[in-house]
Amino acid sequence: MKERNSVHIPVSCSYYGELYWQSEKLKIYITGAGGFIASHIARSFKSEGHYIIATDWKKNEHMKEGVFFHEFHLVDLRVMNNCLKVTRGVDHVFNLGADMAGWDSFSPTILLSCTTIP
């Protein structure tokens, strides 16, 4: 059985010849942190020394709490006041929140969720 390597996301990327990331540590906000992809990206940023604020409307099933974030907020971001409250003072926002529909993608609940995102 092959051993899986962890994904490393570089934080000092060159974008048109300029350094994209600042050299100091950032306060990064990640939505959808209850999911697989967002939690792994958050863990990578945290391992680089950045301060991670994570949110979702469900708890993470893929990692133990505290492994990939400094703060976790269980909050519904379809409410604008919640968005403003949890993003105050952050340097970057990564919006990875999505309603994972799967085979039931046309259910009324999913369609309502997708149309009420601010």
pLDDT tens digits for 63-93? 888 889 999 999 988 889 999 999 999 999 9
CB 51 within 8 A of CB 26: yes
Domain of residue 37: give its range: 25-115
Q: For residue 35, what pLDDT is reported?
A: 87
Q: How confident is the model at residue 118 (pLDDT cuts 50, 70, 90)?
A: low
CB 55 within 8 A of CB 31: yes
Q: How confident is the model at residue 107 (pLDDT cuts 50, 70, 90)?
A: low
Give the 3-state secondary structure of 18-59.
Answer: EECCCCCCCEEEEECCCCHHHHHHHHHHHHCCCEEEEEECCC
Q: Does the residue 17 lie in any domain?
A: no
Return the higher-pLDDT residue of 54 and 112.
54
pLDDT tens sequence across 26-70: 999 999 998 888 999 999 999 989 999 999 988 888 788 888 999
What's the angle, vertex CA 76, arms to CA 70 and CA 114, rounded to 5? 125
Q: For residue 57, what pLDDT is reported?
A: 85
Q: Does the residue 11 lie in any domain?
A: no
Q: Does the residue 76 lie in any domain?
A: yes
Q: How many structural domains compose the chain?
A: 1
Q: Does the residue 45 lie in any domain?
A: yes
Residue that the structure tokens 């995102």 belong to: 117
Q: Does the residue 106 lie in any domain?
A: yes
Q: Does the residue 68 lie in any domain?
A: yes
Residue that the structure tokens 């306060």 belong to: 27
Q: Does the residue 13 lie in any domain?
A: no
Q: Taking the model in full, what pTM does it have?
A: 0.68
Q: Give the CATH number for residue 78.
A: 3.40.50.720
32: region left, alpha or beta (phi > 0 left; psi from -120 to 50 alpha): left
